Homo-oligomer: A and B are copies of this chain.
Amino acid sequence: MPFDDRIETAISRAIRNGQAAPSPGKLASALQYTVTPGGARIRPKILLSVSAACGDDNPELANAAAAALELIHCASLVHDDLPCFDDADTRRGKPAVHRAFGEPLAVLTGDSLIIMAFSVLTHAAALDSARAIELLKVLAERTGMPNGICAGQGWESEEVIDLSAYHRAKTGALFIAATQMGAIAAGQDGEQWEDLGARIGEAFQVADDLRDALYDEETLGKPAGQDDLHGRPNAVAELGVAGAIRRMKDILSGAISSIPKCPGEAMLAKMVNAQAEMLTPIKWRAGQASHIPGE
C-alpha cells in the first residue's frame, strides 16, 4: 500500500475509535475537521520512509506510529492557532479550528488529539510491546518538556531564548521523532537516527521561513508574514532569499550523509532530495511549478 493510503487509513481508524461510544458531536466533528484533509503529511511520510529503509517488518506498527505522530502534529497546529498564540484565521486553506468551532472546542480538540496519539500506540502494543514502549517514549520526549514541541513553544515566552534549544524543540523535535520512530517500528535502535531527523527539521525550518516570507495567505493556506509580525528569528531576514536556499540545500546534503547504514540507504537519500525539491519555493526550483503543500 502506498504511504499516503497507509497514513490516511491509520488516521481515520484512530478518529473513528474516538467515537466508539456516545460522544459529544461537535468535538467529534472538530477532530475529524482538524485531521482531514491533511497537509503534506511530511512527518509520517518520513517515518514510513525510514521504516521502509530498515526493512518495515511490522508495517501495522509503523502505520500506528505514523498516525500517532501526525495526530500530535495536528494537535500542535490547533493549539498554535489559538487567539493567545498566533490567532490565525485560516489553516490548510480553511477556517482555523477555533474560528470554525470556537475556542473551547479548539482547546479540547488539541487535548484529545494528544491523548489519541498515545492511545493509538498503546493499542499497537499488541503487535510488539517492546517496540511500542520505545515508540511511546520517543513520542513523549519529542512532544513534552524539556525536549519536545511544548518546550519549543514555551521558549517563545522567554525574554532570553536559547536559540539552539528553541529550534531543536520547536521544529526539529517531530522530525527527530519521525526518523527515530520509523527505525524503532522496524526493530532498529532509534538513537542513531536522531541526527538525520534533526537535520531534516533544520532544513524544514529554513524552508518554512522562505515560504512565510515569499508567499501570500492564499498560496500558504495560512496567514503569511507571521515571523516578521511576531519578531521570530527567520533565515530569510538573516541570509536573504538566495542565501537561505543555499543554507537549506547544504543542510540537506549533510542530512543525506548522516543516514545510518541500512538496506534502503539509497532510497532514503532520494526521499530527502525529493523533500528538498518540494521545500524549495516554486520559482527557484529546477523542475516546473507544482503544488505547495500547506502545513
Contacts and interface: CB of A to CB of B under 8 A. Distances in A.
Interface of A: 18-28, 31, 75, 79, 82, 84-85, 102-105, 107-108, 110-112, 114-116, 118-119, 122-123, 125, 129-130, 132-133, 136-137, 140-141, 143-148, 150-151, 153-158, 162, 165
Name which of A25, A102, A144, A151 has the most chain B CB atoms within 10 A of its CB: A144
Contacts of A19: 145-146
Contacts of A141: 119
A14 B137 CA distance: 14
B165 A31 contact: no
Given A75-B111, A118-B136, A129-B130, 15 more contacts: A18-B144, A18-B145, A18-B146, A23-B151, A27-B154, A31-B145, A84-B103, A85-B107, A102-B157, A111-B111, A115-B144, A115-B145, A115-B150, A122-B133, A122-B140
A27 B114 contact: no
A13 to B, nearest CB: 14
Given A114-B115, A119-B140, A157-B104, A23 B146 contact: yes
Contacts of A148: 115
Given A137-B119, A137-B122, A111 B112 contact: no
Nearest to A103: B84
A102 B84 CA distance: 9
Q: Which 4 A-B pairs have the closest CB atoms?
A: A23-B146, A27-B154, A115-B144, A24-B154
Contacts of A146: 18-23, 28
Given A110-B111, A129-B130, A150-B111, A144 B119 contact: yes
20 contacts: A20-B146, A21-B165, A24-B157, A24-B158, A28-B146, A79-B107, A84-B103, A85-B104, A105-B157, A108-B154, A110-B111, A111-B111, A111-B114, A112-B144, A112-B150, A112-B154, A115-B143, A118-B118, A118-B136, A122-B140
A114 B112 CA distance: 10
Nearest to A133: B125
Nearest to A158: B24
Contacts of A79: 107, 111
B22 A162 contact: yes
A8 B14 CA distance: 34
Contacts of A108: 150, 153-154
Contacts of A147: 21
A22 B155 CA distance: 10
Contacts of A133: 122, 125, 129, 132-133
B154 A105 contact: yes
A18 to B, nearest CB: 4
Nearest to A25: B158
